[in-house]
Amino acid sequence: LEYLEKDIKEIIIDEETLQARIKELGKEITESYPEGTELILICILRGAMIYMADLARCINLPVSFDFMDVSSYGDSTESSGNVRIIKDLDDSIENKDVLIVEDIIDTGLTLKHIINMLETRNPASIKTTTLLDKPDRREMKQVEVDFNGFEIPDKFVVGYGLDFAEKYRNLPFIGVLKESLYS
């Protein structure tokens, strides 16, 4: 996607590395549940959609999909800490095994908020997976991710679902945006 690649300073995780790690994560997730467990994958829109689409195809369990839209960043590069529920799940999760799928955990505010909210609905279990983890930025130290793809440094990354002002989500890799584009 040349029209987007010119805005990228550096590729930090290439397509092949991403796909190989997602296969491993799918296997890890599959093996962590009893055989045949019906799992609800909860995609946190919009960033997690690409990861969830690829991950779901690497999980060898009967899965179903549900979607929740929670936004805190808007068009800024900084989390506002103000988590808004824009779209709730369509189905009940009571007595169901759910896996929350996120693209990135940064401050941890979004994931913490979602876990707290879903716990009140009495699911059988809640686990979490994020493709990327920026541990240097964590504010919610008590949030633990069950299946994490990659730890990354505190740089503004885009691609593979992650945006800047809604752009770059369709890049097939994780890259660092040129500073001149947002400073």
Active site residues: 106
- Which residue's CB comes closest to Mn ion? 47
The yes or no reply on residue 47 touching Mn ion (CB under 5 A) is: yes
Residue 106: CB partners within 8 Å, gap ≥ 6?
A: 79, 134, 137, 138
Q: In this complex, which beta carbon is closest to Mn ion, that of residue 47 or of residue 123? A: 47
Among the listed ranges 14-22, 76-84, 108-116, 158-166, the one in contact with Mg ion (CB under 5 A) is 158-166
Residue 39: CB partners within 8 Å, gap ≥ 6?
A: 33, 59, 61, 62, 63, 64, 97, 98, 99
Q: How far apart are CA 56 and CA 40, in angstroms?
A: 10
Identified binder of Mg ion from the candidate list 33, 37, 60, 73, rule CB under 5 A: 73
Residues 60-119 that bind ligand PRP (CB under 6 A): 71-73, 79, 102-111
The single-letter DSSP state of residue 131 is E
Rounded least distance, CB 175 to Mn ion, Å: 17
Q: How far apart are CA 113 and CA 107, in angstroms?
A: 11
Rounded least distance, CB 62 to Mn ion, Å: 26
> Which residues are 128's β-sheet partners?
100
Q: In this complex, which beta carbon is closest to ligand PRP, that of residue 57 or of residue 87? A: 87
Among the listed ranges 34-42, 43-51, 120-128, 161-169, the one in contact with Mn ion (CB under 5 A) is 43-51
Q: How many residues bind ligand PRP (CB under 6 A)?
A: 19
Measured from the Cβ of residue 147, the count of other Cβ atoms closer than 10 Å reads: 18
Residue with tokens 């936004």: 71
Rounded least distance, CB 82 to Mg ion, Å: 14
> Which residues are 100's β-sheet partners?
42, 128
Q: How far apart are CA 128 and CA 6, in angstroms?
A: 34
Q: What is the binding site for ligand PRP (CB under 6 A)?
A: 44-47, 71-73, 79, 102-111, 163
Interface residues with Mn ion (CB under 5 A) are 47
